[in-house]
């Protein structure tokens, strides 16, 4: 067993090239890992390869990091578990390597997104369905005598129900909302094999079509209804009033991404459970790789509010661990530790002694050593990596830790 000093691997200065995941195997030493990619070394197109970029999701870790630890601690045919599956990064990367996976999440949207990312598609059929719904939506929303058809009236034999969501009425221009609801109605009425895929195209488009500024898609605070100075484009921009252009753009992009994933997808099993990992009945697994929610940082349900309102998904936000709405007071931090420990105690029960548990977290409050102790897990190593890209709310230097624990 390594000593505490030996486990805290120093941050690399950048003089060495970052680790290539393909070079990692069980014999690779932790001290040999350089996990500090720059934007140039790991550009966005590589971080969001194939289905990883199927829908924006804040707070996810990069697939290259996951792949490194899958290669070091797991073998094809084994099972990795993620109790905070989020957008499914662990599941997708495990499948690429022929490793079975199980994921849990209390968010209905997260579960939907993970299923869509990992489905074994008949790509030709998926493409036909996506293009058909898009074309029907476009035809149904063609102007009649220069104007859109009246709200809540039949449009080309498509009856759009009266919307009763205050959120949808506030955050979308009438034309954009009409186009989104038309698309949703076509999904519901049609006999489509890949309805969940179509729903993700819809929600991704809805995210972009909101009445918000172009530079604040992550956490818009109020609808933007007037022209504004756009810091992203350095000019005055208008709020978005339509959704069709996004539906068209993301239809093309989605099909491209699932085609790319199907070229590397394996027959490894993927199991996704809509459940609370604190109390869920857990499947057997050979170890864990996960990136839990950080205390007081993100309200995970709220970041996809448009999806919950459009798809009428069950909202379990009151069961989130460490939501931003609860803050980061001493009381909130203690509750976070108790909740996290409950998760790790529960999920580790189905694992053999010595099973690896890899947890990636920005532990600025130094909560995780106590979480490991409360969970009855043994710390093997702690690596610290520099995350030197600015995304979401991040505006300065940011470091995250990779905790490597073992079950007893």
Model confidence pLDDT, tens digit, residues 14-63? 447 889 999 999 999 998 899 998 888 888 888 889 999 999 998 889 99
- Nearest Cα to 290, choosing from 93, 68, 106, 66? 66
Q: What confidence score (pLDDT) does residue 153 get?
A: 41
- pLDDT reading at 7 higher than 90: no
Helix (H, G, I), strand (E, B) or coil at 17: coil
Q: What confidence score (pLDDT) does residue 151 get?
A: 37
pLDDT tens digits, one per residue of 174-233 = 999 999 999 999 999 999 999 999 999 999 999 999 999 888 888 888 998 998 888 888
Please compute the mean of the pLDDT values over residues 256-270 and round it to a whole number: 97
Q: What confidence score (pLDDT) does residue 394 get?
A: 46
Please compute the mean of the pLDDT values over residues 364-369 and round it to a whole number: 94
Band of the pLDDT at 155, cuts 50, 70, 90? Answer: very low
Q: Which of 58-67, 244-253, 293-302 tops mean pLDDT? A: 244-253
> What residue ranges in 19-107 does DSSP mark as E strands?
79-82, 100-105
188-211 burial: b if 16+ Cβ within 10 Å, else e: eeeebebebbbbbbbbbbbbbbbb
| Alpha carbon 259 to chain centroid, angstroms | 20
Question: CA–CA distance from 334 to each of 327, 367, 375 (Å)?
Answer: 12, 9, 14
Least confident of 74-83, 149-158, 390-399: 149-158
Band of the pLDDT at 143, cuts 50, 70, 90? Answer: low
- Nearest Cα to 243, choosing from 166, 151, 175? 175
Q: What confidence score (pLDDT) does residue 157 get?
A: 59
Helix (H, G, I), strand (E, B) or coil at 215: coil
Encode 188-213 in three state secondary structure: HHCCCCCHHHHHHHHHHHHHHHCCCC
Please compute the mean of the pLDDT values over residues 336-360 and round it to a whole number: 96
Please compute the mean of the pLDDT values over residues 118-130 and round it to a whole number: 98
Q: What confidence score (pLDDT) does residue 256 get?
A: 98
Band of the pLDDT at 241, cuts 50, 70, 90? Answer: very high
- pLDDT reading at 168 higher than 70: yes
Domains in the chain, start-ordered, CATH in brackets? 4-106+273-300+317-407 (3.40.50.150), 123-261 (no CATH)
Q: What confidence score (pLDDT) does residue 395 get?
A: 54
Mean pLDDT taken over the chain: 89
Please compute the mean of the pLDDT values over residues 77-89 and round it to a whole number: 97
Band of the pLDDT at 4, cuts 50, 70, 90? Answer: very low
- pLDDT reading at 152 higher than 60: no
- pLDDT reading at 170 higher than 80: yes
Q: To the nearest whole percent, how much of the chain has pLDDT over 90? A: 69
Q: How many alpha carbons lie under 13 Å from residue 196 in its C-beta half-sphere? A: 16
Please compute the mean of the pLDDT values over residues 356-383 and round it to a whole number: 95
Answer yes or no: are the C-beta atoms of 352 and 404 closer than 8 Å.
no
């Amino acid at each position: 067993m390594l000593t505490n000093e030996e486990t805290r691997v120093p941050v690399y200065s950048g003089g060495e090239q970052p680790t290539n995941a393909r070079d990692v195997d069980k014999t690779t030493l932790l001290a040999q890992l350089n996990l500090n990619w720059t934007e140039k070394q790991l550009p966005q197109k590589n971080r969001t390869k194939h289905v990883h970029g199927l829908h924006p999701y804040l707070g996810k870790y990069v697939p290259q990091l996951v792949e490194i630890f899958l290669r070091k601690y797991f073998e094809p045919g084994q099972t990795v578990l993620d109790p905070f599956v989020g957008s499914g990064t662990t599941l997708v990367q495990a499948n690429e390597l022929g490793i079975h996976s199980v994921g849990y999440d209390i968010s209905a949207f997260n579960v939907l997104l993970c299923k869509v990312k990992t489905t074994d598609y008949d790509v030709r059929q998926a493409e036909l369905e996506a293009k058909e719904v898009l074309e029907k939506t476009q035809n149904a929303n063609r102007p009649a005598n220069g104007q859109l058809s009246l709200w809540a009236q039949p449009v080309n034999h498509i009856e759009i129900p009266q919307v009763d969501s205050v959120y949808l009425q506030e955050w979308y221009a009438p034309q954009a909302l009409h186009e989104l609801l038309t698309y949703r109605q076509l999904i519901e009425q049609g006999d489509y094999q890949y309805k969940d895929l179509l729903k993700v195209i819809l929600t991704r488009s809805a995210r972009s079509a909101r009445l918000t500024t172009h530079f604040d898609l992550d956490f818009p605070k109020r609808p933007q209804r007037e022209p504004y100075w756009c810091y992203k484009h350095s000019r005055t921009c208008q709020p978005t009033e339509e959704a069709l252009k996004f539906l068209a753009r993301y239809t093309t992009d989605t099909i491209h991404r699932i085609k790319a994933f199907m070229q590397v997808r394996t027959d490894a099993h993927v199991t996704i459970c809509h459940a609370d990992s604190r109390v869920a009945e857990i499947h057997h697994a050979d170890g864990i790789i996960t990136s839990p929610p950080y205390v007081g940082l993100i309200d995970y349900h709220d970041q996809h509010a448009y999806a919950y309102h459009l798809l009428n998904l069950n909202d379990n936000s009151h069961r989130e661990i460490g939501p931003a709405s609860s803050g980061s007071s001493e009381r909130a931090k203690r509750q976070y530790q108790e909740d996290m420990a409950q998760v790790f105690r529960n999920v580790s029960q189905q694992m053999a002694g010595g099973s690896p548990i890899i947890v990636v977290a920005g532990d600025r409050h130094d909560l995780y050593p106590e979480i490991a102790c409360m969970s009855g897990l043994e710390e093997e190593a702690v690596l610290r990596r520099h995350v030197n890209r600015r995304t979401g709310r991040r505006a300065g230097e940011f470091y995250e830790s990779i905790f490597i624990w073992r079950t007893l």
